[in-house]
Amino acid sequence: ENGRQHKHVVMLPFMAQGHMIPFLALARQIEQRTGYAITIATTPINAVYLRSSISSSTTTTTTTIRVVELPFCSADHGLPPNTENTEALPNHHIMTLFRASQTLEPSFHNLVSTITEKYGEPPLCIIADVFFGWSVDVAMRFGSFHVGFTTCGGYGTAAYISLWLNLPHRHTDSDDFTVPGFPETCRFLRSQLNPTLRSADGTDPWSTVFRRELQLSLRSNGFLCNTVEEMETFGLEALRAVTGIPVWPIGPLQPPAFLNLPCTTDSNLSSSRSVKKHGIAPENCIKWLDYHPPGSVLYISFGSQNTINPTQMMELAMGVEASGKAFIWVVRPPVGFDINGEFKAEWLPEGFEERVTESRRGLVVRTWAPQLEILSHKSTGAFLSHCGWNSSLESLSQGVPIIGWPLVAEQAYNSKMMEEEMGVCVELARGPDSRVLSEEVERVIELVMGEGEKGKEMKMKASEAAKKIRAAVREGDQLGSSVKALDDFLQTALSKRHENADEAMT
Ligand code: UDP
């Protein structure tokens, strides 16, 4: 069919690295499976970032993924100059970004209109971040299929949406409560909610934006979710109950090389996921890990945007040192300092870095480490993580159990799910304010990495998760569930868009 190239998928990610990266990975998968034309629309500065991500990871093959600039519709969107994503913005400006992003609708309408004219038919499908619920209206106007894409897992997305829409903690004085869509026995805690959500009353600015966009997003034809059906059965059940629309689990959106899949491009390097950052060279990390016995090293990282407070950092360092375990720690300046700024030795106990470096006990990495290379190395035995969804999936795909220290967003729900439902995580601390003692750090490291039953059981369960994840992306005779889900989603889009188109006509 000559229309193959004419089929067009338009994608609209939220302006944060943690959203744009999975969108780009999804674009690659769709391109590879269908050859359809793909357009990613984002604001000018983020377009530059996305284009450089594409070109730095695609050296041998040409790509049909196009990035187009979506200008803000008015100059007085309130964002400081040259700051169009969450990484570049101070926290108090994030709301400005959400508000500004709500004004993108006319630009987006124009883009879809241009594509429709050029190709003689509307885009087959619009895949939009769940924060851009307004894009459902645009899809309806043109008769395109529309799906919301949540870059989080099933459980995390379900909890996040249901909590914002229902605010169940407002209806009780109790410290624990149930969340609509989840079984009665699954209790959530007030301390697992972000401060903005904890104090939300439905009329504050955050409630207004989130509730509006999430509600609008639920009118999509379905949701795509970066997870695996067999691994997240419980979470996906909750997500289906909360949304009431089809959910296609199509994850993990991860470089193929780390899933034992053949590589068709050079995109196997995790460095391609982080063009802006510079830390230690992967080969130096690997060399260091090679020196250590299997399963003996603890990897510590709080992701790309978060950090802990100065007291917590001291206690963590003392606990890690006292545990006697080898470790790689990606350090970032603590809360109260520029997270991208220079790291000062005074934030760690006196002589800490010299001691651990000299004895080869520890590798202190500044700012950024090749995470997937580290997690896939046989010497890595556990991951002390903020439970960001990408980090969680990456760790489980390599069979590495997790010591949880969730900080913001839906991370506490991820940690809860991995501890209660999967048994692959033990939560050490929660949030950037909690009191953490070095003895507790030491105890949990021993629990997870020591010789005891708990550690062995966690390792076994993490290995089971890794098997499920790898099976889900299998190609060939025994097509994996995530590959099937992606095919099924595209097939549904093809057959249903005519229905949407009919509706658009009438
Ligand atoms: N990452 C990395 N090196 C680091 C820190 C993070 O490669 O030193 C990558 C990590 O592999 C993951 C992403 O950055 O793909 C972090 O995403 P996640 O959802 O875990 O957390 P976020 O940074 O969005 O809070």
What integer pLDDT is reported at residue 260 of this predicted model? 74
Ligand 1 near 301 CB (within 6 A) = yes
494 and 215 Cβ atoms separated by less than 8 Å: no
- Å from CA of 428 to ligand 1 middle: 19
Ligand 1 near 19 CB (within 6 A) = no
Ligand 1 near 411 CB (within 6 A) = no
- Å from CA of 318 to ligand 1 middle: 24
Closest ligand 1 atom, residue 375 Cα: 11
137 and 504 Cβ atoms separated by less than 8 Å: no
Ligand 1 near 153 CB (within 6 A) = no
Ligand 1 near 227 CB (within 6 A) = no
- 411 alpha carbon, distance to own chain's centre: 10
Q: Give nearest CA residue, ligand 1 atom 7.
A: 371
What amino acid is encoded at 14 in this protein?
Answer: F
- Other CB atoms within a 10 A radius of the CB of residue 247 amount to 26
11 and 27 Cβ atoms separated by less than 8 Å: yes
Ligand 1 near 18 CB (within 6 A) = yes
Closest ligand 1 atom, residue 21 Cα: 15
What integer pLDDT is reported at residue 83 of this predicted model? 80
- Å from CA of 496 to ligand 1 middle: 36
What integer pLDDT is reported at residue 172 of this predicted model? 96
**Contacts within 8 Å (CB) and 24+ apart, 72-76:** 72/43, 72/100, 72/103, 72/104, 72/107, 73/103, 73/104, 73/105, 73/106, 73/107, 74/103
What integer pLDDT is reported at residue 502 of this predicted model? 61
Ligand 1 near 391 CB (within 6 A) = yes
- The Cα 198–Cα 282 span in angstroms is 40
Testing ligand 1's pocket by substitution, the residue of 86, 269, 304, 380 carrying the most ligand atoms inside 8 A of its CB is 304
ipTM over 0.95: yes
- 270 alpha carbon, distance to own chain's centre: 14
- Å from CA of 303 to ligand 1 middle: 4
Closest ligand 1 atom, residue 409 Cα: 25
Q: In terms of DSSP bridges, do strands 326-331 and 297-301 run parallel, antiparallel, or are they unpaired?
A: parallel
Which structure tokens are listed for 78? 């309130």
- Enumerate residue ranges in the chain where pLDDT < 70: 1-5, 57-61, 261-278, 498, 500-506
297 and 328 Cβ atoms separated by less than 8 Å: yes
